[in-house]
């Protein structure tokens, strides 16, 4: 083979197109033999590709600029490089994330080498992607031609991408009203006095049913731990982050709810991190933003910084939009606000013996870790509260970046990471987390899985529960596949849709035969189903598999296909409506599966003995 067409549109090419690499589509069942799916290639070679990508990420950070490693040139605080708040903290499992684009290029380069490709034809409407693919073809000595589709229409988001400083200014304006609407704590002294205790950091989200209406703090993040902490003989302080993008309205709403939490609590206190946003903090953040802009400007030549020796090309075009946002745009300003808000909040807090926070290695966590240590507080425990997915590169790093002591500005980590059972422990071991850094605790978000109701014996229609994805776009793509299947099936099916908790009010397009699930809890919804359909971002797949349901994970070609349960017997990956229907027909007369024990996945001891040990409650 000498020529290959790289097809990046969602619609499939004509069947007589010759050898084709589908950039963001899975192979249809009747695909010609000389078609190749890049999402399939990525999934098939995921071990080596993840290792290569993480190695590249490390190498980019230590690229020397005028004799100094990039990570050190971007030191924004003593011991903290701004680099760790940018590309290494990017959400790789989002749709068309820069990481997914880069990894597909690595897979494409390997495929082209294997097939002996000497020329490529690029068919795309994405100008940035066209530049990336042209750069790769040129740098590897391959002839190339490009067929560009129509330009996308102008949107507010495209304007912000073109002029990222406008997005940063919008963040400043949105935050400027917060000090006027929310009473700050700036008048209080930097509390050196006060009894040492435990501080927990989380989001204003995932509250237990009825908790918000009653003004009491009951969290699905922490489950029974909240009540258990009342047994401590030292103060317990909660520091909450707004789950929505902070604005004066959002923070005022959350501030009122936190005040109700405080009024209804007896032994624990609650604070909102944006109460610490004062005019002084805002000015300091703007000053840091100017420094971050300089980091972004001075990091040159970018083609060399982002060069990937494995694909033989620079990955700059894959990260260009994210880079502009992280160094000049909305994310840059938000990161600077996190730096200064946390410094104010934690300096004013009495000494804390232990800090416990939701661990995902997001940018705000880098700011929190630095401010915590600057204030002289004690040990930090990061709680990986849900699941760790193979392609979530926020959790997984090159071994050289795991608790490294090399250089002046290594990546910040907590002293220990709390994992919620054997499955997550094994995942972290495979990712080469040091054993002393791992502590296994009860899975607070998955209490109740040990009492899962077994599937009934097959009778009546197949009861299918479709669980919405965290991403609204991915949720609709999953529903499109289900809708297409329902339109042609002759099976007897009763199907319902349960939206993701964060997207419960968003409109979706459902098949007329599909109804909304109204069960009070996900456990009750699972109990009323035989088959569960989820997306790659949903942790419901674990509960469904543990309860013995045949579980289908719908692959979205726009994102990594990933799951913490890839080897489970009753987890099925489907990528086409035809494949989904074929699997349903096989299951139609099948006997129910026997549930796996919940403790195969999670630690579920109701006495919370591990959490008691971690918090030193005897």
pLDDT at 504: 67
Instruction: Locate 426 and state its tokens.
Output: 């094994």
Identify the CA nearest to 162 among candidates 127, 202, 213, 212.
127
**pLDDT at residue 566 greater than cutoff 70:** no
Sign (positive or negative) of CA dihedral 256, 381, 342, 432 = negative
* Mutual angle of helices 316-328 and 330-347, in 10-degree steps: 50
Looking at the structure, tell me whether residues 569 and 506 fall in a common domain. yes
Does residue 59 belong to any structural domain of this protein?
Answer: no
Buried b / exposed e along 503-541 (16+ C-beta atoms within 10 A): eeeeebebbeebeebeeeebbebbbebbbbbbbbbbbbb
pLDDT at 113: 96
Does residue 39 belong to any structural domain of this protein?
Answer: no
pLDDT at 406: 86
Which of 155 and 322 is assigned the larger pLDDT?
A: 322
Does residue 147 belong to any structural domain of this protein?
Answer: no
Give, in order, the Cα–Cα distances in Å from 372 to each of 344, 377, 406, 453.
Answer: 10, 6, 21, 43
pLDDT in tens, 204-255: 998 988 899 999 999 989 999 999 999 998 999 999 999 999 999 999 999 9
Q: How far apart, in whole angstroms, are the C-alpha atoms of residue 318 and residue 77?
A: 28
Does residue 333 belong to any structural domain of this protein?
Answer: yes
Give, in order, the Cα–Cα distances in Å from 105 to each of 1, 4, 16, 491.
Answer: 19, 14, 24, 40
Looking at the structure, tell me whether residues 358 and 402 fall in a common domain. yes
Range of the domain at 282: 178-295+329-446+609-614
pLDDT at 85: 98
Q: How far apart, in whole angstroms, are the C-alpha atoms of residue 442 and residue 598?
A: 12
Identify the CA nearest to 306 among candidates 142, 38, 99.
99
Does residue 259 belong to any structural domain of this protein?
Answer: yes
Identify the CA nearest to 456 among candidates 385, 325, 520, 550.
550
Looking at the structure, tell me whether residues 214 and 276 fall in a common domain. yes
Q: What is the CATH number of the domain that holds 475?
A: 3.40.50.2000
Strands (E), 420-535: 438-440, 462-467, 493-498, 514-516, 531-534
Does residue 52 belong to any structural domain of this protein?
Answer: no
Tell me which of 426-430, 439-443, 450-454, 548-552 is least confident: 450-454
pLDDT at 486: 86
**pLDDT at residue 617 greater than cutoff 60:** no
Whose structure tokens read 């129910």?
592
Q: What residues have CB less than 8 Å from 226, skipping those under 6 apart?
A: 217, 218, 219, 268
60 and 70 in contact (C-beta within 8 Å)? yes
Whose structure tokens read 């050190």?
72
pLDDT in tens, 76-85: 999 999 999 9
Identify the CA nearest to 539 among candidates 592, 501, 504, 576.
501
Q: Give the residue-averaged pLDDT of 326-346.
A: 98
Query: What's the whole-number average pLDDT of the chain?
Result: 89
Does residue 56 belong to any structural domain of this protein?
Answer: no
70 and 299 in contact (C-beta within 8 Å)? yes
Does residue 424 belong to any structural domain of this protein?
Answer: yes
**Alpha-carbon torsion, ordered 83, 87, 88, 92, to 10 deg:** 170
**H or E segment at 270?**
strand 268-272
pLDDT at 385: 81
189 pLDDT band, cuts 50/70/90, is: very low
**pLDDT at residue 394 greater than cutoff 60:** yes
pLDDT in tens, 403-431: 998 888 999 999 999 999 888 999 999 99
Tell me which of 62-66, 137-141, 155-159 is least confident: 155-159
pLDDT at 520: 82
Put the strands of the sheet holding 143-148 in their side by side order: 35-37, 20-22, 3-7, 119-124, 143-148
Instruction: Locate 491 and state its tokens.
Output: 């099976």
Q: Give the residue-averaged pLDDT of 522-536.
A: 86
Identify the CA nearest to 270 among candidates 315, 238, 309.
238
pLDDT at 273: 97
pLDDT in tens, 316-334: 999 999 999 999 999 999 9
Q: Give the residue-averaged pLDDT of 355-379.
A: 97
SS3 402: coil
SS3 239: strand
Q: How far apart, in whole angstroms, are the C-alpha atoms of residue 120 and residue 133?
A: 9
Q: What's the total number of domains in the chain?
A: 2
**pLDDT at residue 192 greater than cutoff 70:** no
250 and 240 in contact (C-beta within 8 Å)? no
pLDDT in tens, 588-610: 655 554 455 556 788 888 889 99
Q: What is the CATH number of the domain that holds 227?
A: 3.40.50
**H or E segment at 175?**
helix 164-176
Which of 450 and 280 is assigned the larger pLDDT?
A: 280
pLDDT at 505: 65
Q: What residues have CB less than 8 Å from 507, skipping those under 6 apart?
A: none
Tell me which of 143-147, 375-379, 554-558 is least confident: 554-558
In terms of C-beta density within 10 A (0-12 exposed, 13-18 middle, 19 or more buried), how is residue 151 classed?
exposed
Give, in order, the Cα–Cα distances in Å from 498 to each of 258, 401, 501, 554, 556.
Answer: 28, 39, 9, 15, 18
Looking at the structure, tell me whether residues 429 and 474 fall in a common domain. no
Looking at the structure, tell me whether residues 366 and 435 fall in a common domain. yes
Q: How far apart, in whole angstroms, are the C-alpha atoms of residue 192 and residue 173?
A: 33
Tell me which of 149-153, 429-433, 499-503 is least confident: 499-503
569 pLDDT band, cuts 50/70/90, is: low
Q: How far apart, in whole angstroms, are the C-alpha atoms of residue 44 and residue 46?
A: 6
Looking at the structure, tell me whether residues 460 and 427 fall in a common domain. no
**H or E segment at 425?**
helix 422-430
551 and 545 in contact (C-beta within 8 Å)? yes
187 pLDDT band, cuts 50/70/90, is: very low
Tell me which of 126-140, 151-165, 397-411 is least confident: 151-165
**pLDDT at residue 432 greater than cutoff 50:** yes
Looking at the structure, tell me whether residues 442 and 471 fall in a common domain. no
Looking at the structure, tell me whether residues 424 and 500 fall in a common domain. no
DSSP-assigned letter for residue 26:
P
**pLDDT at residue 63 greater than cutoff 70:** yes
Looking at the structure, tell me whether residues 183 and 238 fall in a common domain. yes
First to last CA, the chain: 69
Q: What residues have CB less than 8 Å from 68, skipping those under 6 apart?
A: none
Q: How far apart, in whole angstroms, are the C-alpha atoms of residue 100 and residue 534?
A: 20
Give, in order, the Cα–Cα distances in Å from 43 to each of 310, 390, 563.
Answer: 18, 11, 11
Looking at the structure, tell me whether residues 553 and 407 fall in a common domain. no
pTM of the model: 0.91
166 and 205 in contact (C-beta within 8 Å)? no
Count other Cβ atoms within 10 Å, centred on residue 550: 25
pLDDT at 190: 46
Q: What residues have CB less than 8 Å from 499, skipping those under 6 apart?
A: 468, 475, 506, 508, 516
pLDDT at 597: 54
Whose structure tokens read 């006495």?
607
Looking at the structure, tell me whether residues 428 and 478 fall in a common domain. no
pLDDT at 568: 55
pLDDT at 321: 96
**Alpha-carbon torsion, ordered 197, 204, 158, 53, to 10 deg:** 50
pLDDT at 259: 95
Residue 202 phi, psi (nearest 5): -155, -170
Looking at the structure, tell me whether residues 440 and 574 fall in a common domain. no
Count CA within 13 A, CB hemisphere, residue 550.
Answer: 21
């Amino acid at each position: 083979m000498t020529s290959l067409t790289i097809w990046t549109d969602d619609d499939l090419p004509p069947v007589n197109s010759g050898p084709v690499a589908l950039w963001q589509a899975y192979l249809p069942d009747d695909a010609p033999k000389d078609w190749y799916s890049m999402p399939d290639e990525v999934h098939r070679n995921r071990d080596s590709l993840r290792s290569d990508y993480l190695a590249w990420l490390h190498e980019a950070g230590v690229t020397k600029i005028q004799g100094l490693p990039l990570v050190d040139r971007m030191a924004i605080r003593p011991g903290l490089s701004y680099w760790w708040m940018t590309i290494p903290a990017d959400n790789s499992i989002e749709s068309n994330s820069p990481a997914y684009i880069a990894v597909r290029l690595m897979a494409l380069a390997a495929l082209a080498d294997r097939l002996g490709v000497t020329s490529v034809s690029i068919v795309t409407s994405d100008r940035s992607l066209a530049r990336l693919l042209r750069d790769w073809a040129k740098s590897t000595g391959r002839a190339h031609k490009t067929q560009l589709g129509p330009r996308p229409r102008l949107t507010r988001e495209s304007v912000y991408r073109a002029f990222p400083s406008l997005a940063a200014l919008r963040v400043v304006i949105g935050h400027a009203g917060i000090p006027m609407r929310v009473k700050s704590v700036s008048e209080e002294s930097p509390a050196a006095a006060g009894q040492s205790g435990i501080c927990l950091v989380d989001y204003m989200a995932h509250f237990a049913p009825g908790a918000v209406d009653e003004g009491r703090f009951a969290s699905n993040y922490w489950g029974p731990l909240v009540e258990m902490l009342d047994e401590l003989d030292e103060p317990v302080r909660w520091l909450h982050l707004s789950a929505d993008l902070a604005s004066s309205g959002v923070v005022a709403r959350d501030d009122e709810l936190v005040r109700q939490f405080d009024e209804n609590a007896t032994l624990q206190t609650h604070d909102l991190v944006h109460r610490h946003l004062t005019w002084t903090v805002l000015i300091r953040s703007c000053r840091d933003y100017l420094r971050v802009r300089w980091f972004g400007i001075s990091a040159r030549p970018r083609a060399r910084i982002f060069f990937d020796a494995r694909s033989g090309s620079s990955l700059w075009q894959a990260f260009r939009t994210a880079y502009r946002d992280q160094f000049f745009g909305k994310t840059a300003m938000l990161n600077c606000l996190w730096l200064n808000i946390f410094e104010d909040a934690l300096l004013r807090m009495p000494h804390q013996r232990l800090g416990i926070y939701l661990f995902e290695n997001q940018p705000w966590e880098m700011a929190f870790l630095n401010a915590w240590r600057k204030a002289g507080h004690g040990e930090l425990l990061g709680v990986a509260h849900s699941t760790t997915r193979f392609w979530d590169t926020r959790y997984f790093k090159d071994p050289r970046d795991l608790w490294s002591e090399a250089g002046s500005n290594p990546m910040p980590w907590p002293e220990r990471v709390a994992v919620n059972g054997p499955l997550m422990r094994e995942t972290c071991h495979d990712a080469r987390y040091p054993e002393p850094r791992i502590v296994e605790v009860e899975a607070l978000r998955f209490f109740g899985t040990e009492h899962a109701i077994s599937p009934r014996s097959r009778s009546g229609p197949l009861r299918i529960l479709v669980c919405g994805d965290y991403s609204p776009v991915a949720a609709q793509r999953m529903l499109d596949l289900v809708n297409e299947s329902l339109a042609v099936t002759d099976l007897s099916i009763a199907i319902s849709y349960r939206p993701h908790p964060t997207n419960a009010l968003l409109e979706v397009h459902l098949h007329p035969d599909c109804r909304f699930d109204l069960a009070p809890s996900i456990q009750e919804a699972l109990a009323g189903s035989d088959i569960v359909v989820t997306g790659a971002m949903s942790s419901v797949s674990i509960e469904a598999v543990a309860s013995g349901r045949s579980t289908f994970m719908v692959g979205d070609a726009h994102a990594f296909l990933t799951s913490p349960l890839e080897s489970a017997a009753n987890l099925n990956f489907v990528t086409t409506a035809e494949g989904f229907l074929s699997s349903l027909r096989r299951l139609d007369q099948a006997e129910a599966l026997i549930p796996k024990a919940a403790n195969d996945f999670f630690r579920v001891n109701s006495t919370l003995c591990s959490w008691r040990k971690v918090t030193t409650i005897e």
